[in-house]
Structure formats: C-alpha cells, structure tokens
Structure 1
Amino acid sequence: MALRIRQLREEKKWTQEVLASKAGISRSQLAMIEKETRPANTLRLSAIAAALGVTTEDLFETDERERRLVRILRSLSGADADALLRVAEAMSTKPDAEPGAR
C-alpha cells in the first residue's frame, strides 16, 4: 500500500508536503505511512485517497488490469455483474491448452 501512495503522489509530481497538506495530515505522518513504519487508520487513508482523487481501494491495488476490472465490475448492474463473475470464474477453472496461452 505504501508504495502505491508514493506512486500516485509522484505521478502528480507532488512532494510529501503537498500531499500531506491536501490530506490534512503532517508530512511526518505521511512519510511514516509511505515507509510503512506507522499504520494508517481509516480516516487518514480516506483523506489521502481524497487528496489524490482516487478511491481508498485504489491505494491497495497496484496492477492496472485489476483496477480496470474492478471499475468495470462496479459500473455494471446486478445481473450483468453476476454474469461477468460467472464468466470469470469459468475462465479461471478452465485448463489451458498450452502453458502460458492466456
């Protein structure tokens, strides 16, 4: 998680001071969260996510494909989301014809 916060901060070309100010926390608190020397509580994570313009979940997801899948799943109606999950589950249990084919 800490690396994702830092990655998002650096993508915006923000210093720790800038993000900390926008999130309403101290720079030292942010530094400890990024270094994983201090756990971040829910309020701090929510403030950091809001300052970065992302969801709290985005702080935990590092793979772009995973983030895209989650966004798609969230955008679907209940029945469509259920159908997508069934397809994904079927694909995950399907044996590959050749190793590394997917």
Structure 2
Amino acid sequence: MNLPESVGNRIRELRKAKGWTQEQLAEAAGLHYSYIGGVERGDRNISLETLEKIINGFQVPAEEIFKFNEESEYKRALDEHITLISGKSADEIASLTKINKEILNTIEKLQKSSD
C-alpha cells in the first residue's frame, strides 16, 4: 500500500470512529466533502497544509494520522476513545480519567469476588 492510500484509510478510520460523515469532516476541516472522499480513497495527493486542516478538524495529535499498521478491534476502540476526548479541556480529561479508573477498579473487584 502506498502512503496516500495508507493516510486516506487512516483518515477514514478516524472519521468513522468519531461517527462523522465525510460532509462533517469536510466542514470541520474547511474542505469540500468530495475532496475528503478522494483523500480517503488515496486518489488525492494532498499538501501538508490540507493534511493540517484535516488534523485540526479532528482535533487529534498529528501522529494519529500516521498510525496505520495496527488493524484490530482494540485499535479501533482506542481510536474511538481518543476522538471522544479530543478537544476537551485538561480538566475534563482528568475527570474522565478518574471516572475510568473508578470503573476499572470496580470491574476488577467484581471479578476477584466472583473467583
């Protein structure tokens, strides 16, 4: 697979993990939806400026666009969580982390008590 196809596939994965249509991503990035379709298919040789618009539209770290070798349900679930918290404040992320820790601790306790 070539780089434009890999990046395009990754953009599609992130868009779907966010639950967005191509139109929604295009609006967030300030691009036309048909252009997004071409990028996702690897048909477009996009500039760094356009890639930056897409990254800013997603509100994810730039390196997320280049994580395309980890195809798994685990990776997809992790991507979904990253997109859910992207754009949140540090305080909101800290609160969500605390809640997640409490949930995981409760699950562990329940599993230990059922053994």
Task: Tell which has more relative contact order, 1 or 2 (C-alpha 8 A, sep 6+).
Answer: 2
The one of 27, 31, 40 equivalent to 2:33 is: 27
Structure 1 residue 36: Cα displacement: 0.5
> 2: CA distance between counterparts of 1:13 and 1:57?
20
Alignment match, 2:111: none
Q: Which runs of 5+ in 2 are unaligned?
A: 1-6, 76-115
1:43 paired with 2:49, answer: yes
RMSD over aligned Cα atoms: 1.1
Question: After superposition, where does 1:1-102 map in structure 2 within 5 Å?
Answer: 1-62=7-68, 63=70
TM-score, with length taken from structure 1: 0.59
Q: State how many pairs are aligned.
A: 64
Alignment match, 2:79: none
Q: If you compute each CA radius of gyration, which structure gives the higher value, 1 or 2?
A: 1
> 2: CA distance between counterparts of 1:57 and 1:41?
16
Q: Which runs of 5+ in 1 are unaligned?
A: 65-102
Structure 1 residue 28: Cα displacement: 1.0
Larger proportion of helix: 2
TM-score, with length taken from structure 2: 0.52
Percent of pairs identical after alignment? 34
